[in-house]
């Protein structure tokens, strides 16, 4: 069996100029990065803003296993299959981070015969967006410490600084650091630390900003820390946001590439799915809707987190109206939800499946709460047996939900034709009545409770004393009327990763509430949330190589 990289290297890519032309872009509206990648000017918006939008399809999943369940693969495969049906379709995905790429997961550009290409470039430095975000963020950090060193006119309390530095690498040794050591001339010593770049608020902002003006305003609202009398200090007060926006002038433009079958794809922005909203940029999604009749996009983690944030944060801010949801389920993950050990997932186990299906049932119920019609896609793995597949398909039918067996990983578009047909039919026959889950003007407690009870199935929410004091402070500062971005384990509907299936009789514990004032949401932290991952004992990087001819291996 060929590896993802081998399949990607055999792709017959079209020149990016041709891909751009096919979706109606003019030569002056793209900037080429080599022959197979391009950035698209945001000026296109002026030309297309009155054109009706295409249909918006969100791909999400049940609670996953640690390997990922194939959301990106299904997104790409569905886009390819829609093209195969002669539909004018596009894909919008997140751009990968080097941290997980070099760490556990390897590349993040789909898999098998459903990938975006050039896969190596997309997974490595691509068009430099992550570099630009890292630099913009670290400029703010540098200006902050310089301000304190040069007299601290803003009266910033160095013990109340909330902005860390960032790097696009899994680097546990940098989680907690001390800076400014070495004497008077080296700055003011204080405790600091690093987050991974995709956890930067700058990334979340880039993904939510409509244009440069909006970007600059949002960057200006980033809270870097608090004064000695507990007042927030912002990037605008440090006069950093103009230069930050300048550093992001190209990063804000969506990147255009193609799939293995030449379907056009935007790969743009990649905020963390825990402390941020985990979706590609609003600009890419909105442009994609103008340039195609069907735009397939994806949200990180399972539907309880990813889809909820896609709806309640991204769609709310960008006024997007999703037309359909594709809910990806795998037999492997359903068996895991039924209690099967990770090592035993390749063995047939109908009993476990019967128990584990409860996770799919709850996620279906949740999607229905947002009023968007859905199709379940069973992402077929080579180890699935016919009896297992039929069981899941029959269950979906019993629930009255459209279902399709998707084999896009092994067969590309051919393996997704049934799914594509069912998605088109669903959109044509079932109008979407999309609505967000809660009113953002409600109290923080009410908003968190709505998500925990309605979506996770929790009995209630316990706020620790720290969270309660955060809420008081945020209310006092008038920073409480924003949507909630839940930071929770992706492996369970609850905040306990070991509670699989559809857990009952649990409370969610919120231990802290942070504000991302520039992005425009409040982050409710449950459990242990990692903003700087570490590398495993044998990192994926240890398998990667390049030869004299520039041929890359080991990148999955």
Residue 72 is a binding residue for ligand ADP (CB under 6 A): yes
Between 72 and 509, CB nearer to ligand ADP: 72
Look up residue 233 and give its two tokens.
């200090």
Q: Kindly identify the residues of this chain, within the stretch 4-23, that bind ligand ADP according to CB under 6 A.
A: 4
| Residue 112 in contact with ligand ADP, rule: CB under 6 A | yes
- Residues serving a catalytic function are 71, 73, 94, 105, 273, 301, 381, 409
| Structural contact between residues 451 and 487, judged by C-beta atoms closer than 8 angstroms | no
Binding piece for ligand ADP, criterion CB under 6 A, among 49-57, 66-74, 353-361, 480-488: 66-74
Minimum Å gap between C-beta 386 and ligand ADP is: 15
Residue 471's H or E segment, with its range, is helix 465-476
Would you give the distance in Å from CA 356 to the centre of its chain? 25
Site stretch for ligand ADP (CB under 6 A), options 49-57, 67-75, 258-266, 272-280:
67-75
Question: Does the protein bind ligand ADP through residue 67 (CB under 6 A)?
Answer: yes
Q: Which of 380, 422, 447, 488 binds ligand ADP (CB under 6 A)?
A: 380
Between CA 482 and CA 221 the distance in angstroms is 14
Which of 99, 462, 40 shows the shortest CA–CA distance to 265? 40
Q: Which of 54, 70, 79, 271 is the binder for ligand ADP (CB under 6 A)?
A: 70
264 binds ligand ADP (CB under 6 A): no
192 binds ligand ADP (CB under 6 A): no
With CB under 6 A as the contact rule, the residue among 226, 381, 463, 506 that binds ligand ADP is 381
Q: Does 304 bind ligand ADP (CB under 6 A)?
A: no
By CB under 6 A, which span of 343-351, 377-385, 386-394, 542-550 interacts with ligand ADP? Answer: 377-385
Q: Is 554 exposed, middle or buried (0-12, 13-18, 19+ CB in 10 A)?
A: middle
* Segment interacting with ligand ADP (CB under 6 A) among 65-73, 315-323, 420-428, 542-550: 65-73
Angle subtended by helix axes 386-398 and 350-369, to nearest 10: 40
- Tokens 């088109």 — which residue? 424
68 makes contact with ligand ADP (CB under 6 A): yes
Measure the N-to-C terminal CA separation of the chain; round to a whole number of Å: 12
Q: What is the pairing mode between strands 264-267 and 552-553? A: unpaired
Residues, the chain: 556
Report the residue number, 33 or 409, with the smaller CB distance to ligand ADP: 409
- Shortest Å, Cβ 256 to ligand ADP: 20
By CB under 6 A, the count of residues binding ligand ADP is 19
| Among the listed residues 37, 55, 71, 514, the single contact to ligand ADP using CB under 6 A | 71
Least Cβ distance, residue 518 to ligand ADP (angstroms):
27
Q: Shortest Cβ distance from residue 118 to ligand ADP (Å)?
A: 17
Q: Please report, for residues 150, 161, 165, 223, 533, the alpha-carbon distance to residue 179 in angstroms, rounded to integers and kept in the order given.
A: 16, 13, 11, 20, 21
What count of other Cβ atoms lies within 10 Å of the Cβ of residue 382?
Answer: 8
Ranked by CB distance to ligand ADP, the top (closest) residue is: 111
Residue owning tokens 């709505």: 450
Distance CA 326, CA 55 (A): 13
Q: Which structure tokens are listed for 333?
A: 């993950």
Please say which residue, 112 or 232, places its beta carbon nearer to ligand ADP.
112
Q: Residues annotated in the binding site, as ranges?
A: 65-72
Q: For ligand ADP, what does the binding mask look like between residues 23 and 62, x meaning CB under 6 A? A: --------------------------------------x-
Query: Token pair of 237, please?
Result: 């007060």
Using the minimum distance from each CB to ligand ADP, give the nearer residue, 68 or 520. 68
Task: Work out how close the CB of 166 gets to ligand ADP at its nearest, in angstroms, rounded to a whole number.
Answer: 22
Q: Which of residues 393-412 bind ligand ADP (CB under 6 A)?
A: 409
The single residue among 103, 111, 302, 322 that binds ligand ADP, judged by CB under 6 A, is: 111
C-alpha 340/C-alpha 366 separation (Å) is 25
Alpha-carbon gap, residue 444 to 9, rounded angstroms: 49
Binding residues for ATP: 65-72
| Residue 549: other Cβ atoms inside 10 A | 6
Identify which range of 68-76, 179-187, 242-250, 469-477 contacts ligand ADP by CB under 6 A: 68-76
From the list 64-72, 222-230, 455-463, 488-496, the region that binds ligand ADP by CB under 6 A is: 64-72
CA distance 291 to 278: 23
Is the separation of the CB atoms in 446 and 522 below 8 Å?
A: no
Cβ–Cβ under 8 Å, residues 365 and 316: no
Q: Is the dihedral of CA 451, 456, 461, 464 positive or negative?
A: negative
> Which of 37, 63, 69, 316 touches ligand ADP (CB under 6 A)?
69
User: Binding residue for ligand ADP (CB under 6 A) from 63, 73, 255, 492?
Assistant: 73
The token pair that represents 468 in the structure block = 């309660």
**Joined tokens for residue 138:** 């670290």
**Least Å from the CB of residue 412 to ligand ADP:** 12
Degrees (nearest 5) of the Cα angle 429, 431, 437? 145
Residues that bind ligand ADP (CB under 6 A): 4, 61, 64, 67-73, 108, 110-112, 379-381, 409, 556
């Amino acid at each position: 069996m060929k590896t993802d990289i081998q399949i990607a290297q055999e792709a017959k890519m079209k020149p990016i100029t041709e891909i751009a032309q096919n979706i109606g872009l003019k030569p002056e509206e793209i900037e080429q990065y080599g022959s197979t990648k391009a950035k698209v000017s945001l000026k296109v918006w002026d030309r297309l803003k009155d054109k009706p939008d295409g249909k918006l399809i969100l791909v999400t999943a049940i609670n996953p296993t640690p390997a990922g369940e194939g959301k990106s693969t299904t997104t790409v495969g569905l886009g390819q299959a829609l093209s195969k049906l002669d539909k004018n379709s596009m894909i919008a995905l997140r751009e990968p981070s080097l941290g997980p790429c070099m760490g556990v997961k390897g590349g993040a550009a789909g898999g098998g015969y459903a990938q975006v290409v050039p896969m190596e470039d997309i997974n490595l430095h691509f068009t430099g967006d992550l570099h630009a975000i890292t630099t913009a963020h670290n400029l703010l950090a540098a200006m902050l410490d310089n301000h304190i060193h040069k007299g601290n006119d803003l009266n910033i309390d160095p013990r109340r600084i909330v902005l860390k530095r960032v790097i696009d690498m899994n680097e546990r040794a940098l989680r907690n650091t001390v800076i400014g050591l070495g004497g008077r001339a080296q700055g003011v010593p204080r405790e600091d630390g690093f987050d991974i770049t995709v956890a930067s608020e700058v990334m979340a902002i880039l993904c939510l900003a409509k244009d440069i003006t909006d970007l600059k305003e949002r960057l200006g609202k980033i809270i870097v820390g608090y004064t000695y009398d507990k007042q927030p200090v912002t990037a605008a007060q440090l006069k950093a946001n103009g230069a930050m926006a300048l550093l992001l002038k190209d990063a804000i433009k969506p990147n255009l590439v193609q799939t293995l079958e030449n379907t056009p794809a935007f790969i743009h922005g990649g905020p963390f799915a825990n402390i941020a909203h985990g979706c590609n940029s609003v600009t890419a999604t909105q442009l994609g809707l103008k340039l195609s009749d069907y735009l397939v996009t994806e949200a990180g983690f399972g539907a309880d987190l990813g889809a909820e944030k896609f709806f309640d944060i991204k769609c709310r801010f960008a006024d997007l109206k999703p037309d359909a949801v594709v809910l990806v389920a795998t037999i492997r993950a359903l068996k895991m939800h039924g209690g099967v050990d990770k090592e035993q997932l390749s063995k047939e186990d109908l009993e476990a499946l019967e128990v584990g299906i409860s996770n799919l049932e709850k996620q279906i119920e949740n999607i229905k709460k947002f009023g968007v019609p859905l199709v379940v896609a069973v992402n077929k793995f080579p180890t699935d047996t016919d009896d297992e597949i039929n069981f899941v398909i029959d269950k979906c039918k019993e629930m009255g939900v459209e279902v399709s067996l998707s084999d896009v990983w092994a067969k590309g578009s051919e393996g997704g034709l049934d799914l594509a047909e069912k998605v088109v039919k669903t959109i044509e026959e079932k109008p979407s009545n999309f609505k967000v889950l809660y009113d953002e003007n409600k109290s923080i407690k009410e908003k968190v409770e709505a998500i925990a009870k309605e979506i996770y199935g929790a009995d209630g929410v316990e706020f620790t004393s720290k969270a309660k004091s955060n809420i008081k402070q945020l209310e006092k500062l008038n920073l409480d009327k924003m949507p909630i971005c839940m930071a929770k384990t992706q492996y369970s509907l609850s905040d306990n990763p070991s509670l699989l299936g559809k857990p009952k009789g649990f409370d969610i514990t919120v231990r802290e509430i942070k504000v991302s004032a520039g992005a425009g949401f409040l982050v409710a932290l449950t459990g242990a949330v990692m903003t700087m991952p570490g590398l495993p004992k044998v990192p994926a990087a240890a398998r990667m190589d390049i030869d004299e001819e520039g041929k890359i291996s080991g990148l999955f």
